[in-house]
Amino acid sequence: MKIAILGAMPEEIEPFLEKFECKKINYANNNFYFTNFKNHELIIAYSKIGKVNSTLTATIMIEKFKAEILLFSGVAGALKDGLKIGDMLSGSSLVQHDLDITAFGHPYGYVPGNPIFIDSDEKLNLIAQKTAKELDLKLLSGIIASGDQFICDEEKKEWIKNTFKADMTEMEGASVALVCDALKVPFFVLRTVSDEAGHKAEFDFDKFMVESAKISANFILKMIEKIN
């Protein structure tokens, strides 16, 4: 099976590239890496930050390189009370928090033709929970809110959390979810907390991002061992 592994930044895919010898193809101003693992062909890439970049990269991985499953591995800011740096969460559903046509009477996150929340693949989420149990790790499940903003403001953090009942915030997941939903490709989004999305989040992010990305990458590889 062809499995896409996507991150937003080089640091989020570096743990994968360190484990494998990969063939590299440059396409659309980006690099895509190919290797084999546990009877699967892996397609690995980082999209660059933001919803437009992640939409482009996810689409290429599916349409050009024929990925049959997409796994997103990366870091995110915590919204939910009690989430701490290093905690892992799988996105049960994803929403764009910065999508706003409320001037026309619509709710935040909505545009005609698209759902506000997009659910991730149930089978992959079950595999993730089984993986967590075997690794003796706690894997939470919840709503991830995406937008083209790095959230480091307490007021904005509270607004996103309260408006969408979101547990984490980042900058790519919901756009990847939209691509996968439209193209009928099962997807899974794993995020490890790198910061708490409020005051001083930018300092925590720089400090903990690399270690959090390693946690996510190791978990994703363990998941892949269970995918048939």
**Higher pLDDT among residues 152 and 73, named by residue:** 73
Note the pLDDT of residue 196.
66
With vertex at residue 11, the alpha carbon angle to CA 8 and CA 15, rounded to the nearest 5 degrees, is: 110
Percent of the residues in the chain that have a pLDDT greater than 70, as a whole number: 94
72 or 214, which is more confident: 72
pLDDT of 120: 98
pLDDT of res. 161: 96
pLDDT of residue 206 exceeding 80: no
SS (H, E, C) the chain: CEEEEEECCHHHHHHHHCCCCCEEEEECCEEEEEEEECCEEEEEEECCCCHHHHHHHHHHHHHCCCCCEEEEEEEEEECCCCCCCCCEEEEEEEEECCCCCHHHCCCCCCCCCCCCCEECCHHHHHHHHHHHHHCCCCEEEEEEEECCCCCCCHHHHHHHHHHHCCCEEECCHHHHHHHHHHHCCCEEEEEEEEECCCCCHHHHHHHHHHHHHHHHHHHHHHHHCCCC
pTM to 2 decimals? 0.92
pLDDT digits (tens, 9 = 90+) for 105-126: 999 999 999 999 999 999 999 9
Residue 177 has pLDDT above 80, yes or no: yes
For residue 150, pLDDT over 90 is answered with: no
Q: Which of 11, 87, 195, 196 is catalytic?
A: 195
Catalytic-residue membership of 195? yes
Residue 181 bears catalytic tag = no
Match domain 2-225 to its CATH number in 3.40.50.1580, 3.40.1500.10, 3.40.50.300, 3.40.630.30.
3.40.50.1580
Average of per-residue pLDDT across 94-100: 98
Percent of the chain scored above 90 by pLDDT? 79
Q: Does 223 have pLDDT greater than 60?
A: yes
Q: Which of 12, 87, 121, 172 is catalytic?
A: 12
The pLDDT of residue 39 is above 60? yes
Average pLDDT over residues 173-177: 98
Tens-place pLDDT, residues 42-68? 999 999 999 999 999 999 999 999 999
Give the residue-averaged pLDDT of 157-165.
96
What does the domain layout of the chain look like in residue ranges?
Answer: 2-225
Q: What is the pLDDT of the chain when averaged over all its residues?
A: 92
